[in-house]
A and B are shown apart, each in its own frame.
Chain A
Amino acid sequence: AQKITQTQPGMFVQEKEAVTLDCTYDTSDPSYGLFWYKQPSSGEMIFLIYQGSYDQQNATEGRYSLNFQKARKSANLVISASQLGDSAMYFCAMREGLGANNLFFGTGTRLTVIP
């Protein structure tokens, strides 16, 4: 089974609107971490936001927030007030267990912001 599933290959959003990018995960480890990365056309992987499995509150970082629904094993990324510079690939990733273990990535969602 896939550890990370991103079901939206592509999404469009109007500039200044909010958009939700979906991510579901599969693990039996009670300790895990969930990450979102942005990859613009230049190719670098830019860390956006992190949610630990024991965190009680949803993570927020500026215009990014993570809608963490543990029982449903989902970790959707919400981008508010979209900007043209948000157009990029977005990847959800999971680390199982504690420590600097490897990350498992989803297949990504290509977000296009429309002026």
Chain B
Amino acid sequence: GAGVSQSPSNKVTEKGKDVELRCDPISGHTALYWYRQSLGQGLEFLIYFQGNSAPDKSGLPSDRFSAERTGGSVSTLTIQRTQQEDSAVYLCASSWDELGYTFGSGTRLTVV
């Protein structure tokens, strides 16, 4: 596709359940990033994949959060045992160089 695609666009889940958020980056973009944006706040870095290198997981807030990127393309962010404080918009971005960051439209996660 022409842009970064994220699914689902909205997700409501019960506290304690696991959720998976998907990101389809722009074809050919070697770098992929996940950010979290809580209501009215800035973007908090979560994890970054670059080519075949080991991902930079330094932003993951707890061991309930994990992400993988299969075949250097699609990425899945998994949140286990969701908590209410996990409610936020999760944004994915991809890039092929140091300038061309393109963001998806995000997944709005609500934990009830």
Which residues of A come within 8 Å of B, CB atoms?
6, 33, 35, 43-45, 47, 50, 91, 93, 95, 98-108
Is B7's CB within 8 Å of the partner chain A? no
Contact with A along B84-112 (1 / 0, CB 8 A): 00000101010111111101011000000
> Is B31 in contact with A100, judged by CB distance below 8 angstroms?
yes
| B67 to A: closest C-beta gap in Å | 13
| B33 to A: closest C-beta gap in Å | 5
| With contact pairs A43-B89, A44-B103 given, residues A100 and B98 touching in the complex (Cβ less than 8 Å) | yes
Is B20's CB within 8 Å of the partner chain A? no
User: A91 to chain B: which residues have CB within 8 Å?
Assistant: 42-43
Is B18's CB within 8 Å of the partner chain A? no
* B interface residues, tally (CB under 8 Å): 26
Contact check: which of B35, B59, B96, B106 meets A100 at CB < 8 Å?
A: B96
Cα distance A67–B106 when bound, in Å?
30
Is B14's CB within 8 Å of the partner chain A? no
* 15 CB-based A-B contacts, threshold 8 Å: A43-B105, A45-B103, A91-B43, A93-B43, A95-B98, A99-B97, A100-B31, A100-B98, A101-B31, A101-B50, A103-B43, A104-B45, A105-B35, A105-B42, A108-B41
Which residues of B come within 8 Å of A, CB atoms?
30-31, 33, 35, 41-45, 48, 50, 56, 59, 89, 91, 93, 95-101, 103, 105-106
User: B42 to chain A: which residues have CB within 8 Å?
Assistant: 6, 91, 105-108
| B5 to A: closest C-beta gap in Å | 13
User: B45 to chain A: which residues have CB within 8 Å?
Assistant: 102-105
Cα distance A108–B91 when bound, in Å?
16
User: A43 to chain B: which residues have CB within 8 Å?
Assistant: 89, 105-106
| A6 to B: closest C-beta gap in Å | 8
User: A104 to chain B: which residues have CB within 8 Å?
Assistant: 45
Cα distance A43–B107 when bound, in Å?
10
Cα distance A102–B34 when bound, in Å?
9
